[in-house]
A and B are shown apart, each in its own frame.
Chain A
Amino acid sequence: MSKRTVLYQKHLDAGGKIVDFAGWEMPINYGSQLAEHKQVREHAGVFDVSHMTIVDIHGTDALAYLRKLVTNDVAKLDVPGRALYTGMLNEAGGVVDDLIVYRMQDHYRVVVNCATREKDLAWLAAVAGSFAVTLAERPELAILAVHGPEAIERVCTLLPAEWQPVVGALGNFRCVELGDWFIARTGYTGEKGLEVMLPASQAPAFWDQLLAAGVLPIGLGARDTLRLEAGMNLYGHDMDESISPLAANMEQTISWMPEDRDFVGRAAVTLHKQQQLAGTLPILIGLVLESRGVLREGQKVITDKGDGIITSGTFSPTLNCSIALARVPVGTTDCHVELRGGQTAVRMVKPNFVRFGKKVFE
């Protein structure tokens, strides 16, 4: 039985082409994925991401639990209104999921992927074990992500006057509770923007107001090209339970200090670190194809150090050429892919292609 968000009818009204996404009927585009991509890079767009899973964590052990559960150190969130991106690992050091942890006034909130909901909920419950915490999924909330250089300004015009200065001044990875709304400066596009979590019953009216304010609806297709240009991983593609975070460009999400914080998977990922130093763990890099054609997930990458694989590939509308994330042997200096007509050279770059509308590599 496929599921629909509270905005399903709004997607149809906006001309959304509906596809199945992990059991949800979601809009892949509203006409043109390329036009939607450009809209977010140049102006502002809204994504319905209500299919993602929100879990609130209450209890006296909430902090201790999260410091066990995830690789980043939630103790860094020293006051309410702060957020961090992190991975959570299994005991073997594979990535169970990536997520954002928000510190709220009297509890924590995590948002995990939709496609991994069941296993994540089971994992959260399993790690909770003897910790004094309660986990509460929040399916009655909708999430609207509004992104683009004009996004924050346009959202602010729709908010009550007393909220506007607060939301307008939010720094990156900051968040605020305003009544039964929760607004965070987080996202998945490489542009400035907000993720607004609000009661589902209020989401259709807010959606209409956003569209009336010139914020255009953006489908999952453009969400994917935007995140890939920003070099952001997609779970199940760029990493999964068989992949070390160190082989998925997620090292910055691991807090190694303090050394006595025993997060799940720490022993395994410590071994991965030794493998990395010994040169036996692969790395996730960016690839750019400067000639015609499009790099695709699953394609083999032929390197001077052995074969690698493309984990995500697409056409970059901003750069007007194809880009990809690829996992290759450490020390690789030369990459080719098989395209029609033989092997073609591809450029290796850091896995970050576009930020704030601009190309970020030379």
Chain B
Amino acid sequence: MSNNLKFAKSHEWVSVDESGLATVGISDYAQSALGDVVFVDLPKIGATVSASAEVAVVESVKAASDIYTPVSGEIVEINTALQTAPDLINSSPLDAGWLYRIKLTNVAELDGLLDEKAYAAVCE
């Protein structure tokens, strides 16, 4: 999944498959900074969201963190495994710890996001 990852400065990642469906999660840097995640509030399936809107909350032992969607579209799937195993975000932030899938309404938004190298520079 990591070959086509794009990142937002607010530490979310987006990965787009061939059909134009995007998966969103939080970065390894973000999960490490948050520490052990204990609750996750996910958006509703069917909700239409605009880029930069607050769509989810990841709460760790240390702090609650708002998650901003890096892309606009319709939420089509959420990672229900996180309800019982929120620690997947810590153990597998870029894979099993994904948050939601979204049908993109503006593919051009992807161009405004960072590639892995540029994102790594943000985290330094």
A contact residues vs B (CB 8 Å cutoff): 17, 28-29, 32-34, 221, 225, 292-294, 296, 314-315, 317, 340
| A32, A292, A340: the one within 8 Å of B36 (CB) | A32
Beyond A29-B35, A221-B35, A294-B61, 6 additional contacts (C-beta under 8 Å) are A34-B87, A294-B38, A294-B39, A294-B64, A315-B59, A317-B61
Residues of chain A contacted by B59 (CB below 8 angstroms):
293-294, 315
Report the nearest B residue to A222, measured CB to CB.
B61
Residues 33 to 75 of chain B near chain A (Cβ within 8 Å):
35-36, 38-39, 41, 57, 59, 61-64
B contact residues vs A (CB 8 Å cutoff): 32, 35-36, 38-39, 41, 57, 59, 61-64, 87, 90
Report the nearest B residue to A292, measured CB to CB.
B39
A221 and B62 form a contact (CB under 8 A): yes
Q: A30 to chain B: closest CB distance in Å? A: 12
B57 and A33 form a contact (CB under 8 A): no
B39 and A221 form a contact (CB under 8 A): no
Pull 24 A–B residue pairs with CB atoms less than 8 Å apart, ordered by A.
Answer: A17-B32, A28-B35, A32-B90, A33-B35, A33-B36, A34-B36, A34-B38, A34-B61, A34-B87, A221-B35, A221-B61, A221-B62, A225-B61, A292-B41, A293-B39, A293-B59, A294-B61, A296-B63, A296-B64, A314-B61, A315-B59, A315-B61, A317-B61, A340-B57
A340 and B61 form a contact (CB under 8 A): no
A33 and B61 form a contact (CB under 8 A): yes
Which of A33, A221, A315 is most buried by chain B, counting CB atoms within 10 A of its CB?
A: A315
Residues of chain B contacted by A29 (CB below 8 angstroms):
35
Residues of chain A contacted by B87 (CB below 8 angstroms):
34
Measured in the bound complex, the distance between the Cα atoms of B36 and A317 in whole Å is 10
Residues of chain A contacted by B39 (CB below 8 angstroms):
292-294
Q: B96 to chain A: closest CB distance in Å? A: 16
Q: A244 to chain B: closest CB distance in Å? A: 30
Measured in the bound complex, the distance between the Cα atoms of B39 and A340 in whole Å is 13
Q: B91 to chain A: closest CB distance in Å? A: 9
Q: A343 to chain B: closest CB distance in Å? A: 17
Measured in the bound complex, the distance between the Cα atoms of B32 and A225 in whole Å is 18
A315 and B38 form a contact (CB under 8 A): yes
Q: B42 to chain A: closest CB distance in Å? A: 12
Q: A346 to chain B: closest CB distance in Å? A: 16
Measured in the bound complex, the distance between the Cα atoms of B34 and A17 in whole Å is 12
Q: B121 to chain A: closest CB distance in Å? A: 21
Measured in the bound complex, the distance between the Cα atoms of B35 and A317 in whole Å is 13
Measured in the bound complex, the distance between the Cα atoms of B62 and A315 in whole Å is 8
Q: A39 to chain B: closest CB distance in Å? A: 13
Residues of chain A contacted by B64 (CB below 8 angstroms):
294, 296
Measured in the bound complex, the distance between the Cα atoms of B59 and A292 in whole Å is 10
Measured in the bound complex, the distance between the Cα atoms of B63 and A293 in whole Å is 10
The 9 closest A-B pairs by CB, nearest first: A34-B36, A315-B38, A315-B61, A33-B36, A292-B39, A294-B59, A33-B61, A33-B35, A32-B36
